[in-house]
Structure formats: C-alpha cells, structure tokens
Amino acid sequence: MVIQENISLKSFNTFGINAKARYFSTFSDVDELEELLHAYPQYPLFILGGGSNILFTKDFNGLVLKNEIKGVDEMHEDQNYVYVKAGAGEIWHRFVLHCINNNWAGLENLSLIPGNVGASPMQNIGAYGVELQDVFYCLEAFHRQEKKILTFTSSDCEFGYRESVFKRKYKDQFIILNITLKLRKHPIFHIEYGTLKQELERMGVKELSIRSISQAVINIRKSKLPDPKDLGSAGSFFKNPVITKSKFDALKEKFPGIPSFSSREDRVKIPAGWLIEHCGPEKTESGWKGFRRGDAGCYSKQALVLVNYGNAVGQDIFNLSEEITASVKSKFGITLEREVNII
C-alpha cells in the first residue's frame, strides 16, 4: 500500500484542473480498498474513476482513492443473451469496443462516452436513445460503513434520467466494484435520432450492424466534443431538461422553433444546447456558444460543453455555469441541472 501526499490531480480529471489531494492512492481489489479505508478514517474520502464527470473547485483535504479494478469476463449465456462482467476501473469506451468485437449487442449507441465502467450506473449514462438501464443486469458495491459487498439489481438501482440511488439515497455510501450487463446475441438497432440516421447515410451504410452504429456515434461525438487531450472538458456539462407536455406547449407558443424529443410518461425532453444557444451575453449570434472569459468557456461546436482553454481554475468554470443557468432560467423558466459533480 502506497499513499502519496499533496498530489496534483490535474492528470486525473479531464477538465485538467490543477487541484491537489492531501492524500492519494489506488486500489485494484477489495482487499487493497479495505486496507486504504483504514489508513486515514478521520479524513474525507473521494473515490476517483476516469475523472470525466467532476469539476474540482478547490483542493481536496482528504483521501482520494482511484478505482483501478480491472477485468472483463463472460459469466454465462443463454439462447438470446450473454452476461458480461466488467471491473469498475475499466475504461468505458474500451469495454464497449471489446463487446462489439465479440458481437455482443446493446452498447453500440454508448460508444466514446468518457469515463470508467464504475461511473456508468451511477448516473445511468445514455446517448442516442439508449441508456445503461436497458442492458443492465446487476452490480456489486462495497458499503463503506458496514465493510461488506452488496449486489444491486436494476430495480435496486432505481434508475432515472442520469440518476440512480448512488447519486441520491446512497450518495457516498457505496464504492462500485463491477457491473454485469445483459447483452444481445441478436441485435435490436436504435437509430431513431435524426443525427444518427444522417451520419449512417453519410457513411454509405447499406446494412446496419452494431459496428457501423458504433462508428457513426464515434464520428458524431468527435465532431461535437473536444478531445480532453487537446482541450479540457467533462463532456456534456448540463442535462437535457425534461418538462411536462403542458409546459412545453406553452413554451412552443412563445418560441415556435424550440425542438424536443419525446420522453417517458407524457413528458418532453428539450435539448439544453438549444436553450443555451438562444440566450446569453448580448451581441452574440449563438448565445453562450463559443463564449470565452479568460481560459473558461463554452465550446464553439456544442453549447452543452464547458471547456478549460488551459489555465482556468475550477471556480472560473463553475461561475460560468451559474451564469448560463441563470440566463436560461430567466428566458425560458427552466432550471438546468448539471451532469458534472462539483467538488
């Protein structure tokens, strides 16, 4: 067990924020985790995955533990499904490609989502009409206080739109160790999103496959989102708001061009990027899109993405997010929620 002191977390978060951890270590199995949890019980604890969904606004005066539990195993299969377990420390996109290479269907629409496997059930990641809950079977998580491993089924996780019990009821109580997914041997394709259909057409795809859908998603994401190696970001900073149909109808009267997607239970999902582009600083053609103050900005190709152009501190980016949220609320009466966790 090696515990480092006063370590910069700049290389461990995709925003590239130069916050420091009082103590830092890694674990690759439960035994290491338990040993580390006993090391500094008096300090706050933060479990770090891929660092793609966090914004450090200050140094962390406690113990940061990076989850590096690896491994991908085919547990069992039946006539229609393959049950695949992946360690929480696996890189999500690498895991998706592994499944595609084995012709296990269900994750192709979730290609190139940043982060590690362990974070995927925490916020029920989703993209292009597919959410993790659609393929989720179970997970194992370590209870920090009771020091034991518990199994959670899909219903136990209480998945919602970018939500689960690990973000609400059990926040900071469990450390996810692995997940098991139920993937199809015979794919069901999801290409309802117009942008996905358009990209498949542009690629000249004549016969759909999970590989072609994955590549289309990768192409779209690369065209809209910056590579964290070149420009610090955490992907989509805000959730797409979901409102009642009656509220949407009222907005439609006032803003005829407002787009929407159908959601569950007679509710409507509105692209947050559109809202952000249609309000913001005066004398700008695309609202907040492309706005920059110092090294904190709103990405020029996708308004949902806040970026660090080099030397922004976390508070700079957080303050910008507050301004964007206030302007959307003022114009549309909608309160944007962050996907990113603020530390």
Distance CA 122, CA 321 (A): 22
Catalytic residue flag (residue 201)? no
Cα(138)–Cα(204) distance, rounded to whole angstroms?
37
Among candidate residues 52, 120, 140, 162, the one labeled active-site is: 162
Distance from C-alpha of 211 to C-alpha of 121, rounded to nearest angstrom: 23
Q: Which pair of tokens denotes residue 336?
A: 């944007």
Give me the sheet containing 267-269, strands edge to edge. 242-244, 267-269, 261-262
Does 236 qualify as catalytic in the annotation?
yes
Other beta carbons less than 10 A from residue 273's beta carbon: 22
Compute the distance between CA of residue 118 and CA of residue 176 in angstroms, rounded to an integer: 6
Task: From 101, 71, 50, 52, select the one nearest 215 (Cα to Cα).
Answer: 101
Length of the chain: 343
Catalytic residue among 90, 108, 277, 339: 339
Q: Name the residue with tokens 């970001």.
A: 233
Would residue 131 show up in a list of annotated catalytic residues for this protein?
no
Q: Supply the angle between the helices 92-101 and 210-224 in degrees, to the nearest 10.
A: 150
Question: From CA 151, how far away is CA 176, in angstroms rounded?
Answer: 10
- Spot the catalytic one: 164, 212, 236, 321: 236
Which positions are catalytic?
Answer: 162, 236, 339
